[in-house]
Amino acid sequence: MTTSHIHRALVLGGSGFIGSHLCESLLDSGTSVICVDNFSTGNAVNIQSLLEVKGFQLVEHDITEPLPDIGMVDAIFHLASPASPADYHRLPIETLRAGSIGTERALEIASANNARFVLASTSEVYGDPQVHPQHETYFGNVNPVGPRSVYDEAKRYAEALTSAYRRSRSVNTAIARIFNTYGPRMRAEDGRMIPTFIAQSLAGDKLTVTGTGQQTRSICFVSDTVAGLIALARSNEPGPINIGNPVEASVAEWAVRVAAIAGSTAELDFIDAVEDDPRRRCPDISRARLRLGWEPLIGIDAGLRRTVDWFTHPTSPAPTSVG
Ligand code: NAD
Say how far apart CA 45 and CA 20 lie, in whole Å.
10
The per-residue pLDDT for 321 is 44
pLDDT for residue 43 is more than 70 = yes
Q: How many CA atoms lie within 13 A of 148 on its CB side?
A: 20
Q: Is residue 80 part of a domain?
A: yes
Question: What is the reported pTM?
Answer: 0.96
- Residue 102 Cβ inside 6 Å of ligand 1? The answer reads yes
Domain total in the chain: 1
Q: Is residue 148 part of a domain?
A: yes
Over residues 100-150, the pLDDT tens digits come to 999 999 999 999 999 999 999 999 999 999 999 999 999 999 999 998 999
Does some domain include residue 34?
yes
Give mean pLDDT, residues 303-317.
Answer: 87
| Chain centre distance of CA 45 | 18
- Is residue 157 part of the annotated active site? The answer reads no
Q: For the domain that residue 128 is a member of, what is the CATH number?
A: 3.40.50.720
Backbone Cα Rg of the chain: 19
- Residue 263: inside a domain: yes
Residue 321 lies in a domain: no
In which domain, by residue range, is 143 found? 8-312
Taking the C-alpha atoms of residue 122 and residue 92, their distance in angstroms, rounded to an integer, is 17
Which atom of ligand 1 approaches the CA of 97 most closely? 18
Helix (H, G, I), strand (E, B), or coil: what is residue 185?
Answer: coil
Ligand 1 probe mutation, 24, 47, 62, 81, most atoms within 8 A of CB? 81
The answer to whether residue 273 sits within a structural domain is yes
Residue 323 domain flag: no
